[in-house]
Structure 1
Amino acid sequence: MPPSIAERILQPQVPEQRRILFLAEYAPDESAPCAKTFPGDGGYPAYHFSIWQLLGELGYQMRSSAQPTSALFARGNVDFVFSLYNRMPLNQSEVLVSAFCEYARIPYLGAPPGIRALAEDKWLSKLAARALGIPCPDGIPYSDEAALEAAPLFAGPYFIKDRFGAGSEGITAQSLQDTWSGAKAVAAQRLREGVPVLVEQFAPGIDVTVPILGDTMPLILGHVHPRSDKAGNILTEDLKMDDPLGYELLMLDGVADDICRDALALWSATGPMDYLRIDYRYDPHTGQRQFLEFNLCCYLGADGAIGLAAAAHGLSLSGVLGHVVEHALGRQCGSRQHLKWVL
């Protein structure tokens, strides 16, 4: 019998000898280690503080900074960068910290910059998934209003989303439109705000996310449904940020093997990664799945999809954090020894 997921979880090795730089917008100040205040919704300070605290309780030596550029100057002072930065006021911000770490040659959490860039682009990631045999909804990207004069070749209903970005940013109830004229108006408004958009053929059903931890082969923790009370069961930005309805575990016996094959195909092409989610639309009536995106800096809280799915395997959030740190260190051990500066 193969080992269970709990048996495959990596344990921290000599954590007292590992110096971690924790990067997050609301990372606690080293001189005053407590949760910061936040003027809006979302609970980010408490979330960032809890992850920082748990890593320290695992025995790692913790440094902390709210400045992503700290990674550029950390070489020699830290052994690993644990970054939760994925929303910054710049385009394709998820790539920044990993690129800094590659420049400074410091191991870091997540995946290489090129893979982070692929995951950040909801259009190119679908093209890659489709090339791997993973079903995806039809779609077309738009970067200027003039291009909207050419309607998609696929029929509605239409779903309009930001091409880049995290946390379902920009998605509202108006993102689902029955007609092209309605979709065109929503897309045009977003383009006027300077945001490239992706228009897709709406996939009926519900959202299903698949939390995965890195290992020699990916550890698929289960299938989780983020609840929605919106038309079409869509997941809007306010639902993502406030999370009033929460998550539930689903048993997807009829499609579980297909999702496993998807994960293995994506992993073979883009891995190794330390932790991720693969997001789908799933139609319970037909059993059809449609790939939406994969997320490499997803929420790690105990009340989120990863925490919920991990708990079903008897795993604590501390266990998850220790595993992803150790996997990240292991996959990057010696990976830069062949490099030299060319000046």
Structure 2
Amino acid sequence: MFKGLEITVIYNDPMMIEPKPEVIDASITEVRNEIEFIVNSLEDAGFRVKVLPVYNSRRFISDLLNLKTDLIYNFCEMVELESIEEVFAAGLYELLRIPYTGAPPMTLGLCLDKARTKIVLSYYNIPTPKFEVFKEPLNGYAKVNLNFPLIVKPVREDASAGITKESVVYEVKELEERVEFIIKSFKQPAVVEEFIDGREINVAILGNNPPIVLPISEIDFSKLPEHYPKIVSYEAKWIPNTEYYEKTIPICPAPLEPELEEKVKEIALSCYRITGCRDYARVDMRIDKDGNLYVLEVNPNPDLSRNAGFMRSASVYGLTPAETIVKIAEIALERSYANKEVQK
């Protein structure tokens, strides 16, 4: 039905930004290779494909004003160097009435803010670790009504930015130092939550009517050194040849008891709907030693790289990475052009 339509792949290209990023890692260097793969996958499926790199706000707006396309494949996670800019990009698509893949601006903005997401989920009785937000360093004065150990994160970042083995703290002095580091380094508040020491699972979801939970993935921390907190740090995702990268091993499907698996799926689908996700998303959870589930975050635009967790779950489900890319485009087209005639 949709073959022959034009899709524009929009992605942020950090290597074109001036000044260049201070740190160049896999989150940057692999971008162009993955975009090439996505373009090839869509072209092989019969779509006409254009590519629009994003690296400057004014140039981006000008390009969008002149864009004629049937669908934007939205990989824009920032415009220049701020994560919040992904919300503005989707807002521009909405204003210009251009269909696009993935979540709308309100969902992107909500899920980017870890604290607000937790407040919304808690309202709907979705379990999530207890937390507090600090806009200023503690300086020995602020009282923390949480139980140690705690984990400290930037409130508005994704891709595990700001999460290292020092993020898990065990006493007040460590907490004060880490909160001050996050506030000063990321120029935003720090969210502090009770650390759930247990299993970590990732729940990939695909589609809209109805959304489908793909095979659940688990991160195996058993190979990490004893003194390393069992977390998925920035290194684990993006820095090869580090302990975290080499020794956090994904397992898919996760070995879960049937009753627990059904509960995970139920909670993940609730999060998907509550936060307004669409087309695809991922929900990250922890399971404590007593089998209690806690939602860590909802990711409405998870990484779709070939070696990413979402693709791993899709592969176990029976979709190749190329088929997954095409499927997401088809899902977005079906949603966008329901009851409308598509002009080829």
Q: Which bin holds the TM-score, normalised by the shorter protein? A: 0.7 to 0.9
**Structure 1 residue 147 displacement after superposition:** 8.2
CA distance in 2, matches of 1:147, 1:184: 7
Given that 1:132 and 1:266 are in contact with CA atoms closer than 8 Å, whether structure 2 keeps it comes out as no
Is the CA contact (8 Å cut-off) linking 1:26 and 1:48 kept in structure 2?
Answer: no
TM-fit CA distance, 1:201: 0.7
State which of 249, 270, 278 in structure 1 corresponds to 2:275. 270
1:198 equivalent to 2:185? Answer no
**Cα offset for 1:102?**
0.5
Query: For residues 108 and 24 of structure 2, what CA distance do their matches in structure 1 show?
Result: 29
**Alpha-carbon distance in 2 for matches of 1:28, 1:65:** 14
Query: Which residue does 2:287 correspond to in 1?
Result: 282
Report if the CA contact (8 A) 1:205-1:232 is conserved: no
Q: Does 1:67 align with 2:64?
A: no
Report how far residue 206 of structure 1 moved: 2.6
The verdict on how the C-alpha distance between 1:147 and 1:334 changes in structure 2, with shifts beyond 3 A counting, is farther
- 1: CA distance, partners of 2:24 / 2:214: 34
1:317 and 2:304 matched: no
Q: Secondary structure at the match of 2:103?
A: coil
The question of whether the paired residues in 2 share the 8 Å contact of 1:101 and 1:108 is answered with: yes
Check the 8 A contact 1:71/1:81 in 2, yes or no: no
Structure 2 residue aligned with 1:301, among 284, 305, 315? 305
Residue 242 of structure 2 corresponds to none
Written as runs of structure 1 = structure 2, the 5 A alignment for 1:228-239 is 228=221, 229=224, 231-239=228-236
User: What letter matches 1:270 in structure 2?
Assistant: T
TM-score by length of 2: 0.83
Does residue 226 of structure 1 match 2:213?
A: no
Identity of aligned residues (%): 21
Look up the match of 2:32: 45
Q: Secondary structure at the match of 1:24?
A: strand
Q: Is the 8 A contact 2:204 2:313 kept in 1?
A: yes
Give 1:82's aligned residue. 73
Distance across 1 between alignment mates of 2:325 and 2:83? 28
> What do the CA deviations read for 1:168-213 (whole angstroms, capped 9, x no partner)?
0011111001012211111112212213210001111132110110
Q: What SS is found at the alignment partner of 2:160?
A: coil
SS at match of 2:229: helix
Q: Distance in 2 between matches of 1:148 and 1:104?
A: 50
Paired position in structure 2 for 1:248: 251
Matched, 1:95 2:71: no
Match of 2:26, SS state, is coil
1:106: how far off? Answer: 0.2
8 Å Cα contact 2:7/2:72 also seen in 1: yes
Q: Given residue 15 of structure 1, which amino acid in structure 2 is its aligned partner? A: K
Matching residue of 1:33: none
Q: How far off its partner does 1:333 sit? A: 2.9
Q: 1:75 to 1:147 in 2, by over 3 A?
A: farther
Which stretch has the larger CA shift, 115-124 or 257-266?
257-266
Mark the CA change 1:335 to 1:237 in structure 2 (over 3 Å): closer, same or farther.
farther
| One-letter identity of the residue aligned with 1:65 | L
Query: Displacement, 1:67?
Result: 1.7
What SS does the corresponding residue of 1:247 show, helix, strand or coil? strand
The 8 Å contact of residues 206 and 234 in structure 1, kept in 2 or not, is answered as no
Query: Which consecutive unaligned segments of at least 5 residues does structure 1 have?
Result: 1-12, 30-37, 337-343
Please tell me the residue identity of whatever aligns with 1:165.
Answer: E
3-state DSSP class of the match of 1:48?
helix
Equivalent residues of 1:20, 1:61 under 8 A apart: yes
Instruction: State the AA in 1 paired with 2:201.
Output: V
**Cα distance change of structure 1 residues 76 and 239 upon mapping to structure 2, 3 Å threshold:** closer
Q: Of residues 258, 264, 278 in structure 1, which corresponds to 2:263? A: 258
Query: In structure 2, what is the equivalent of residue 24 of structure 1?
Result: 11
* Cα RMSD (Å): 2.6
Deviations 1:135-190 (A, max 9, x none): 11000111222587322212111100110111100111110010122111111122
Q: Which amino acid aligns with 2:127?
A: P
| Cα distance in 2 for residues equivalent to 1:333 and 1:103 | 17
